Amino acid sequence: MHNTKFLLHAAEQYGTPLYYYDADIIRHQYKRLVNSFTDITIKPKYACKANTNIHILKLLKAEGCGLDTVSIQEVELGLFAGFQQDEILYTPNCVDIAEISKAVEFGVHINIDALPILEQFGSKYGNSVPICVRINPHVLAGGNSHIQTGHIDSKFGISIHQIRHLLRIIQLYDIQVAGLHMHTGSDIVDPQSFIYGLDILLDVAKDFKDLKYIDFGSGFKVPYKPGDVESPIEEIGRQVSIRFKEFCTEYGKDLELWCEPGKYLVSQAGVFLVNVNVVKQTVSTVFAGVNSGLNHLIRPMMYEAYHRIENISNVTEIERVYSVVGNICETDTFGWDRKISEIREGDVLAMYNAGAYGFSMSSQYNSRLRPAEVLKDGTELKLIRRREEINDLIYTQMLDK
């Protein structure tokens, strides 16, 4: 999927560590998603927590995508990137009413997922500001437990068992509910998980007479390793389209269907490039130590996520077993016991599926600098974020004069 020549050129021109993204792959994923839904109005909102680089946001806006945000700062980034207010959905969690009020001032769609906040919102705004309500359908779906968000012990959403309480608050404060929302988790491969959750949401929707849209979240899985399964997006789109169209007929009008792909759009477009500092053999393991660490790509350590690792500067049939580790003063392993083309000091390693939750979860741990980002669009390679410098570590600190 990625051209090794471009990867090596990027590493040579901009240095490593380096995040590399391919615009054509992002466009392909977006079009594949949209084309999977038929005879309904599907309006994807990119879950920008996956990657908030302004150039990625502008690229998806140009394709016709909206924006899903989870903080007021992401709302501001979206507006800065050129999204219109009505293209942005703001879905916070455990924030105070003051931050939600800022989102109201910005004029974006507001999604509320807690009854106490809903009461505060109703008391302040009444029916003057339409909202969306996030429902927790109590569906256990997704990969790692850290990314399962729709189960009974989740902090996200208003439980389906609290619907009567929800309706009383809405009636008491005369709140306008324009949309209903859910998100069950990430890395879902079974279409029935979406249908089951959607059916629960549509059943709740019968109690709301003036809806304009239903948002069934996302969680589409992308393949990470050879032979890995992925969400059958065409089948999901087909089944969801049929079920949603049936509901709209029952409801008496056509609603918009929203979803919030994040990883699905950008993960496969990204490659994280590093250089090998040292090949170190111990009594039990051969380590390939690289010039990065969990401060730049934390997913393997946080989620036990698998990222395929390839030696792109020494592609041979000779493979050895390596554990690829970072340079942080902490256990930071990118991959244990991987069969990789023989690694030499100075080689460039590529870690794939790095477009989502890579740079966006990076840090300055150990006071190391965050990497640069580049975007390949056709044959053009463009720097879209410069590499940090030492002044970036000092800039926000209050120094004595």
In angstroms, the CA 158 to CA 165 distance is: 10
SS3 272: strand
Expressed in angstroms, the distance from the first to the final Cα of the chain is 53
Tokens of 267: 């993960």
Q: Which of 48, 65, 259, 329 is catalytic?
A: 329
The alpha-helical segments, DSSP class H, found in 36-108 are 54-63, 72-80, 97-106
- Does residue 280 come out as left (phi exceeding 0), alpha (psi in the -120 to 50 range) or beta? beta
Q: What DSSP state is assigned to residue 364?
A: -
SS3 80: helix
Burial of residue 274, with CB atoms counted within 10 A of its CB: 0-12 exposed, 13-18 middle, 19 or more buried: buried
Please name the amino acid found at residue 49: K
Which residues are 172's β-sheet partners? none
In angstroms, the CA 304 to CA 321 distance is: 19
User: Is position 329 annotated as part of the catalytic site?
Assistant: yes
DSSP output for 156-211: SSEEGGGHHHHHHHHHHHT--EEEEE---BSSB--HHHHHHHHHHHHHHHTT-TT-
DSSP output for 133-156: EEEE-----SSSGGGB-SSTT-SS
Catalogue the active-site residues: 329
